[in-house]
A and B are shown apart, each in its own frame.
Chain A
Amino acid sequence: MSRSRTIAATAILLATASLLAAPTNARAESHATARGPATAAWATIITGTVTDQRSGLPLPGAQVIIIGTTTGAMTDDKGQYRIPGVPAGTVRLRVRLLGYGLVERTVTVQDGTPAVVNFTLSTSPLALDAVVVTGTPGGTQVREIGNAVGRIDAAEIARTSPSVNVQQVIGQRDPGVIVQPAAGMVGAGSAIRIRGTSSLSLTNQPIIYVDGVRIDNSASAGPAIRQGRTASRLNDFNPEDIESIEIIKGPAAATLYGTEASNGVIQILTKRGKSGAPRLDVTLRTGTNYMKDPEERFRYTYGKNPNTAQVDSFNIFDYYKQLTGKSIFTNGQLGNVDGSVSGGSDAARYFASANYGVNHGIVDYNWENTAGTRLNLSLLPSAKWKLDTYLNYSQNETRFAQAADGFGIWDMLVWSSPSLLNTPTKGFRYANPDIAGQIDSRSKVSRFTGGVDLRYQPTSWLTQQLKVGDDNGQTTNQVLFPRVPFGDVNFFGARSGGEKTLEAVTTTFNTLDYAATAKTEVHKISTATSAGAQYYRKQVSLVSAVGSNFATPDITTIGGAASTSSGETFVENKTLGMYVQEVLGFSNRLFITGAVRGDANSAFGSDFKAAYYPKLSASWVVSEEPFFQPYTGRINSLKLRGAWGEAGQQPDVFAALRLYAPQTGPGGVPVVTPSSFGNPALRPERGKELEVGFDLGLFNDRTTLTYTHYNKTTTDAIVLAPNRPSTGFPGSTVQNLGKVRNWGNELGLNVNVLNGQRVGWDFGVNYATAGNVVDDLGGVILQSARVGYPVGGIFFQRIATADFSPTGSLINVTCESAGGAPPQSCSTAPQVYWGNSTPTWWGSVTNSVTLFEKLRLGANIDFQGGFHQVDGDVAFGHTTFQNSAKVYGAPDPIFAAYQTVIPRLGLGYFDAGFAKLRELSASYQLPSTLAGRTGAQTASVTAAWRNVMTLWQAQHDIWGTRIFDSETRVPGSSELGFTYQTVIPPTSQIVLTVRMSY
């Protein structure tokens, strides 16, 4: 309490001081505004249409204003605008729309004579005058921001790509951002990484906002299945509802988000209504999910015939087809209907949508049903007030393809063996595909996300904004193993009697965010003074029940089980943060921003009161300086930027406390057991980052280049120092002992190669490099991290020597020592560094060709490299399950030593670099006459293909066993995991989309 009061008092004092500075200058600004444009006389009206230069389509939502006044209008759904009450004379109009270059035009209007002024906008990735709302109080023009801001035009991507969820929309479309691949089943999600990984022990997942409301960013939701929970809560949102996505990438940009923002921030901005007649948009999507060429990509598996001892081999896919006449995998169908209606007046606007989708995976028991609805309202009762509300409700149900503990379809395949042909599993491991389908792992989610955004501008210089939001999810997870009928082989091991696990998870995220900004301008110097306070509360409660052993296969309720157990957990965290920020602008070209934020958090230890995060950044639009004018013919825009700032990463919510956990004791009595050692001095990790870069526009922005270099140092990095077991406490003690350095470069190049009406060609490249090193662990020795090596380094013992004796026994087996010392016995040898598990370079290449304004062809390539993974499927095929060719091939003493002497995962280690043709698409805008036959004003058809083919693979096999897909990854729940095992590899999709607007 005292710490929160300390912060509150500090922030209020600073805020008060900042507000004191405003009135005098505000009067000056008001005076200037009152002068209005020159040569005022009788009023008239300006109307016109704003269209896209390439497609000729109308552009709704463009802001048209008369420069030097507050007079303006927004284009409606037909791209039309209307500005009444314009005094006769010469005025200069400015048109601004996100993703397009700003256009200005001088117009002379006559007394009482309406003027028609049409605008054609060209896309511009730089868009220095676009407004960014993430990381800035209330919104700021790009030109003022000293850090890189990633912006994704989600509406455009949804229109032209096969992306069926939010994570696919984000993809690898912005430099420095990776959405890790999800397992190859519908409903699976994955983690997002921005600028690599920097936390040793905490999450490396960015925090996520939707329209300013903090949401559950879990990438490890859903039931506990093989290798972890694999659903992402981000995918509960409908991509069709999203207008754009803003990404800020590190502490330098995310200081105002304080504790928890060190990994960056993603803000999703949903669509809003535009004034005009109701506009109905309908999107129909159909397609298929499939596993590309499994028979060809999957290796032969080997095994010894138990009767003849002869080594046999077979392709399990071919064998199953011969046996049953059907394929193991099917083509899963997907279908989605999305409708929205939007419109309104200048005083009230609305956007309402509803969607329903059914998505089937590559086995018939993997499916996902999604349904959702959204209502966004904007009310402008007066020039001073604006109220936006965002209401979203979604209900999704997913049945996953994988199960717990070795009974999923992929487990059965990868460790199949001819030696099992005459067993009840018919060559598969553990069970067979028909049995796998009996396990029912599913998740049902009902989620409400809503917010109210109240903006009050009492004077021209002061803006206040209050946001209140709630994100509430109700999830039911289930994993059901039905009882195996009597007489059958016990396919499900300990669960053969049947077992059902149910979990009811309730997540609640509350957001309260207040910001006030006072702006002044004297001569050519502008100031923007902001102060704000944010309060977040997170609650996660989980109630679980397990029932084991059913009397018959038909009984599947927990109450019907012979033995039952239950559990409940509750986690709560609260953050109170306050900040002040000052932006100084000079001639609207040079901007300097300083800010400080203070945070108190319920997870901090009792000995630590508050964390303070400073920030300083500068932005200079060099191309608008007078001295630069001789060069503007080629370099039409150049912005230099630099930012330094800090942000935090909060520790686990109760890690500071010494705790005992309840358990069941003898005779069922309640007891407690030691659970957490605690650390009263616990404080957040601190990320300090310096980023510098430039945004360059050449040839009228037909070529744009953005570059950013960053250096980030994480101090007080939380190290999970293992408790000595003899302390009597399990697990680890969370201590602020570590230090990690990250660095990297991000490059974005977009070239408008051809800009004709017949042929247009846009070409883009995103490329990022990232590195990191652990500088300090406070003397703690961890298996997963070492000083001098990257976060997420792979450490195993490594065989140095091995030979066969004349009788074939392994002899002279030694393992490498640390620091170049001579090899030693593997019983005592340390684990040594093998490689980095996170990509050190990655990017994407995009191509878009537009023909005759109607047909757009697109192709995206993603690539990643400079890292390694461990394929557990291969490793255990070489060892435990003995089903690889190498096992039965020419004896190799090193291989044999790995098989028998040390932990075997080294036999699955491989260079995981790859390049994939991620998307191919063709989108055709139907002629208006054709569209009109359906009653639509516009209509388009898009055919798109996702995960088309692998173009390059750094390594193709591991000790002779083919790697099925280098892109397979550990699901989201494993932060720094590098060993994947029995995860279904990514699948492909073909999607046909029809869009109609009425």
Chain B
Amino acid sequence: MSTPSLFRSRSARVGLVLAAQLLTACQGVLDVSLPGNVSASALDAPSLAPTLVDGTQADFECAFTQYVESTALWSNEVLNASGGAEVVGWSARFTRPEAGTAQCPTVTSNRGQFTPYLPLQVARGQAEFALTKLNAFTDAQVPGRSLLIARAALYDGFSYVMLSEGYCQVAVDNGPLLTPVQGLALAEKQFTDAITAAKAAGSSGTAILNAALVGRARVRIELGNKPGADADAIQIPAGFVYTATYATAPVRRRNTTMEDINLKFHLSVAPAYRGLTVGGIADPRVIASDAKRVGIDAVTPEWIQGKYTAPDSPLPLATWDEAQLIMAEAEGGQGAVDAINRLRTKYNLPQYTGGTPAEIMTQIIEERRRTLWLDGHQISDHLRFNIPFATGVDQKGVRYNNETCIPLPLSELTGRP
């Protein structure tokens, strides 16, 4: 046994040559293609800043419709007409510990999705990721940087609004859990940043500016800063509407609020929103009609809504209507009556004559219930105005739970100090 004997063997020599070749060939042998995804480092390019902000908007808009329909069911704007366990549980305000970890849907499902928490957090994270990048770039590197900052901050602010209004606690990254009031304060800061950046963007930032003002007014009224809320709301031009946009395709871009009521029959308009009138005149803000069929549960009479007519119908995010209601709440008294009547005029409804401060407040709550129906406000109004949540059993005998705000999912709470 010696080395020369080895090299006298032709096969051994061939083997060694092959091994050497193999060693050389190993260069890159494990490289793989990843054409369907983008690594985080690839997003450092300034040219991709608009893509990040567009992505933020898309994430928020998907989260928003999830939030709207989920809180509509939670706060009884609609009834559960589904057989799906998730819908039944959510309808009874019973959240499973893992609920809230589902992403925005990307494929058609025949059951509704009632877990807006993760989509909202993804939107918030995306917005702040985009803001971090934008703040590190220069105007020279990113044309229209101020407008992009304003847009990202706006969606960040509204994400905080939803997370604070609907949920019992607010989580931000790995920091300590915040109270809803602290969450709303963060939202106010983001709206302020958006207002500053939108103003810097000039006329192209007007829509963002107005939306951010409505958002900040909403936060301020909830935080008890009535003068601040009134000051922001009063700036909103008549007829202003800033919407979350939707499309018929892909699935992730659909208005699921419309779809799950009118097309999938998982939800049915609650009796409290059927046939509403003002002074005998049908209230055009709350359009509900009998579909003359039962829901997917084969039990619940199906009433569909007429506010959103197609899967690509936009959802209002910040409106002059809401600004008027904020002004009414902030000003009270005759100011409130005037604000309500400006709304009634818009909708060709009889004028409101006013009453005691308590009656006016009750009327403001009722006007909000109707005007902002299926806009994602009712859960907040229930909590703010101590409107009782449903108790007892629902129309199918399912017993309501006693939750009011939405608990955070277990995955958010696990391992926190």
Contact = CB atoms under 8 A, between A and B. Distances in A.
Nearest to B20: A12
A5 B32 contact: no
B40 A602 contact: no
A724 interface: yes
A564 B32 contact: no
A84 to B, nearest CB: 29
Interface residues of B, number: 96
Contacts, number: 271
A906 to B, nearest CB: 12
A400 B140 CA distance: 58
Given A489-B293, A671-B51, A827-B401, A728 B129 contact: yes
Interface in A661-701: 661-676, 678
A904 interface: yes
Nearest to B402: A827
Interface string B92-111: 00101110110100011111
Contact of A726 (B9, B32, B171, B399): B171
B231 interface: no
A30 B337 CA distance: 111
A238 B1 CA distance: 49
Nearest to B117: A725
A600 B29 CA distance: 10
B36 A569 contact: yes
Contacts of A1: 26-31
A108 interface: no
Interface in B399-417: 399, 401-403, 409-412, 414-415
B295 to A, nearest CB: 10
A391 interface: no
Contacts of A23: 1, 5-6, 9
Given A459-B11, A490-B293, A674-B122, A727 B174 contact: yes
Contacts of B97: 783, 831
Given A495-B110, A570-B33, A727-B173, A722 B22 contact: no
A8 interface: yes
B143 to A, nearest CB: 16
Interface stretch (B200-208, B215-223, B241-249): B241-249
A9 interface: yes
B265 interface: yes
B126 interface: yes
Given A23-B1, A602-B30, A405 B110 contact: yes
> Which 6 A-B pairs rank lowest in CB-CB distance, beginning with the nearest?
A728-B125, A671-B55, A405-B110, A722-B411, A726-B171, A665-B58
B61 interface: yes
A565 B125 CA distance: 27
A654 B111 contact: no
Contacts of B298: 420, 423, 429-430, 881
Given A1-B26, A548-B108, A664-B252, A494 B37 contact: no
Contacts of A565: 249-251
A725 B121 contact: yes
A458 interface: yes
Interface stretch (A364-372, A572-580, A765-773, A944-952): A572-580
Given A565-B251, A576-B26, A901-B399, A881 B121 contact: no
B172 interface: yes
A728 B59 CA distance: 11
Nearest to A902: B94
A499 B252 CA distance: 16
A626 B32 CA distance: 57
A779 B414 CA distance: 9
Interface in B141-181: 171-174
Interface stretch (B81-89, B342-350, B356-364): B81-89
Contacts of B12: 19
A880 B125 CA distance: 37
B39 to A, nearest CB: 6
Contacts of A9: 23
A601 interface: yes
A479 to B, nearest CB: 10
A819 to B, nearest CB: 17
B204 to A, nearest CB: 16
A24 B110 contact: no
Interface string A443-479: 0000000000000101100101000000000000000
Given A20-B1, A673-B126, A810 B38 contact: no
A29 to B, nearest CB: 14
Given A494-B264, A810-B399, A674 B245 contact: no
B171 A669 contact: no
B40 A572 contact: no
B398 interface: yes
A900 interface: yes
A660 interface: yes
B23 A827 contact: no
A93 interface: no
B252 A405 contact: no
B6 A19 contact: yes
B101 A722 contact: yes
Nearest to B398: A900
A8 B26 contact: yes
A568 interface: yes
Contacts of B398: 900
A664 B110 contact: no
Nearest to A880: B83
A172 B297 CA distance: 41
B238 interface: no
Contacts of B253: 664
Contacts of A562: 248
A430 B175 CA distance: 47
B293 A4 contact: no
Nearest to B19: A12
6 contacts: A3-B30, A5-B23, A660-B43, A663-B252, A671-B58, A730-B118
A535 B297 CA distance: 53
Nearest to B33: A572
Contacts of A464: 11, 15
A546 B88 CA distance: 29
B28 A663 contact: no
A390 to B, nearest CB: 24
A347 interface: no
Interface string A483-518: 000000110011100010000000000000000100
A856 B51 CA distance: 72
A757 interface: no
A196 interface: no
Interface in B280-302: 293, 296-298
Interface in A726-759: 726-731
Most buried by A among B34, B98, B259: B34
A16 B16 contact: yes
A565 B252 CA distance: 11
A600 B30 contact: yes
A780 interface: yes
Point out which of A406, A726, A810, A876 has the most chain B C-beta atoms below 10 A from its C-beta: A726
B411 A665 contact: no
Interface in B245-274: 245, 247-253, 259, 263-265
Contact of A675 (B20, B28, B37): B37
A862 to B, nearest CB: 33
A112 interface: no
A659 B41 CA distance: 9
A365 to B, nearest CB: 20
Interface string A834-862: 00000000000000000000000000000
